[in-house]
Structure 1
């Protein structure tokens, strides 16, 4: 038996490859199929099952393309109604894979159809559980993301999750390995660990949601408190996973097309395409196409695309570092953006050589910012981090203007005013700067290095507040103020 975790940092997502005696299964695959096809070919095994733990909201799964290419059976647990062919397994049903067995454990709560797959090894021992978004390391799945119908509420789902954990998962042996669907950085939970697997016994000791003496009401209250509104693309990705989508190979063929400056500009005008700049922060600051939006490929690229570009069908043309063009198209498709129309061949250099206009970002160091602040030369300072980050500690003069809620807070700005922006390290503030500039706010000053750079100066900061000591009322008020 072979068990391999395939972890993708940008989405904080874990897929799994399991192999036994010439047969293989893949759990929660990402959109692109090539990496899985290569594994199967190298091992010389047949893909028998594609297990889906639930209808994912934070990425588009590769189950349909993978099934079409391999003939493998797509398997969901109970209550997973789809428009495509699949096998909906019963609770407690066992499915053989080579010399091992998968047992289906219906564990509703994160979503009604959420299912945990228990792997029984060659000796029928309870070796591992693949929990999807039911149980994370240090956390459990949030109960407010499902496409709910009828009278089902977030509290109902939380109550179901309480039962699922205690009746289906916590009864398993302590040595059972927990393989979750996500790690730290995913918006599918609140306080996930950076560890990507653990034993169930250790989780019973350390995971707040698995406390033995925890009442149902305590669980519901702790699980539903302080939930940030989910990114707008979550519901749309869940719908794609349930109803189907187009071929990724076709998306890649259409999107990874090299365009001359003239063709690039023509596609922008003809299709009202968004110009997405995925290069480094430094490259974008120095020179970029006017009105382009920066979301760097080396940051949390796909989640920010999903949070900020509200239309999955939005035509997109892009700039990328040479050799990374297919990566851009792939990572856009992972979160459902399938309408990429090509990239600028030769990048900004080719654009300039064609005699076309460029723009740059007014950016300063943390040290320069501190000098201007002390001299009274910073009229408006915005911290674009999340409300909880802002609450923990911020520059005394700063207001909170979270990138997550930028579209809801534009009425706070005046195009005639100058605004200084910072985040934690510079990535989010540069995204914010690019969006504001594209919307006609040109008096923006970006602070390079963000909070980390400011902390090293003598700028006046608020007292540090540990997140664990924040009252729920404080958190809810901060979120309500910007959301």
Structure 2
């Protein structure tokens, strides 16, 4: 018997391969799905079923591709926003045999209308379910977001409450297998730990401590969540069925002359923020590899061309993987070597870093031509903010940059300076010249002010 978790870095997406008696099932596969077939073959298993907990918003499903590769049946829930072209509909009470395991379907709407959970029963140990694949309904330390239906916000929050009661009724012994871990955009309070049980969550998950349905609904509708533009692309592709992921381990290697001649909608510098701030190609934006999954979908639209700039081959390769999983894979090439380019006479731009004393001095000076721009999310801002600062979430600068005056000066801040550098890089790529970054940002401000 096999149950293996496959984690997708960046997206913090968790998918699973479960097998028994020569058969196997995959739960919520990612787009680059060869890994499931390879692992199943290594264990002598045939993939016969693919279960989708819901239509994902933050990544492209690999279900149609994996089904074509294996002949497996894809099962998806009812009430999807459109007919899932590559799946059959599974409903409450349906069961599927995987060797000595039985997979039972629970309808668990709330996060999305089509949401399902898949309960694992072992027929040789019949006293309660072994575990449950909870998708985006229940996480370790949190529950799913319910903001995708703004016209029905109270209804869907109530539906999630009811779905959670179904999951809790499975018994404390049931092991929890969610679709995401900490760092995912699908929840803000997830534990770093990726293992738990229904019993542990019943006792420790903050949202499950809200006993009354009405209070739970009020708590959910008061949450702040952001929806990057690429969510709409993921939703469409996960109904229609996307093509297989490109079999490219890195973008086409460009020489310096080729790189300078290339025309792309976006030039993305993959290096760490301080390296970008120290020297970068004019017009490039800062998007470190580890931040691509969180922010690329805010700034890049479907079909737009991308040119990647990195410091080594691993950065370029990792960036391609992250972009492919969210369908932004129109990469025309990659270039390594900002420092050698500077050595060849290419002019570079910089973004200055400023400290707490400088920020304090500017705030006290009340310079009408200068603004401290806080790009943290709304919850962070509500918890602590610097008087006199302006707030625009970093992702929303994708459009709201046009509200800012290019003739004025801006200091960008976040929690540490990482997201602030991403924001500064975006503004620089839009033609803002009077910008700098508060190094240490809110962390440094708190340290200096007790």
TM-score by length of 2: 0.90
Deviation at 1:413, TM superposition (A): 2.6
Is contact 1:57–1:145 with CA below 8 Å preserved after alignment? Answer: no
Q: Which residue of 1 aligns with 2:44?
A: 44
Counterpart in 2 of 1:176? 174
Q: Deviations over 1:302-334 (max 9, x none)?
A: 12111232x121111111231222211110111
CA distance in 2, matches of 1:388, 1:161: 22
2:318 matched residue in structure 1: 327
**SS of corresponding position for 1:126:** coil
In structure 1, the residue matched to 2:112 is 111
CA distance in 2, matches of 1:79, 1:417: 50
Runs ≥4 residues deviating over 6 A: 374-378
* 2:125 maps to 1:123: yes
Deviation at 1:428, TM superposition (A): 0.6
Aligned 1:309-324 pairs, distance under 5 A:
309=300, 311-324=301-314
Quote how far apart the aligned CAs of 1:432 are. 0.9
Structure 1 residue 277 corresponds to structure 2 residue 269: yes
Q: Note the aligned Cα RMSD (angstroms).
A: 2.6
1-structure distance, mates of 2:415, 2:27: 34
Q: For the residues of structure 2 that align with 1:321 and 1:134, how far apart are their CA atoms?
A: 39
Q: Distance in 2 between matches of 1:20 and 1:374?
A: 68
- CA separation in 2, counterparts of 1:284 and 1:431? 9
CA contact (8 A) 2:56 2:238 kept: yes
Structure 2 equivalent of residue 219 of structure 1: 216
Q: Counterparts of 2:303 and 2:125 in 1: how far apart (Å)?
A: 49
Partner of 1:467: none
Structure 1: stretches of 5+ with no match in the other structure: 462-483
Q: Secondary structure at the match of 2:443?
A: helix
Contact 1:106 1:115 in 2 (8 A): yes
TM-score by length of 1: 0.84
Is the deviation greater in 278-287 or in 126-135? 278-287
SS, match of residue 195 in structure 1: coil
Preserved contact between residue 155 and residue 220 of structure 1 (Cα < 8 Å): yes
SS of the residue corresponding to residue 448 of structure 2 reads coil
The equivalent residue for 1:16 is: 16
Where does 1:155-174 land on structure 2 (aligned, <5 Å)? 155-166=154-165, 168-174=166-172
Q: Deviations over 1:117-165 (max 9, x none)?
A: 001124244011101011122332222326x9xxx72333223223222
Cross-structure match for 2:341: 351
2:140 pairs, out of 125, 137, 149, with: 137
Query: What is the total number of aligned residue pairs between the two structures?
Result: 445
Q: Deviations over 1:398-450 (max 9, x none)?
A: 23232132245435532222222211121110011111111221111112232
Aligned to 2:439: 448
SS at match of 1:157: helix
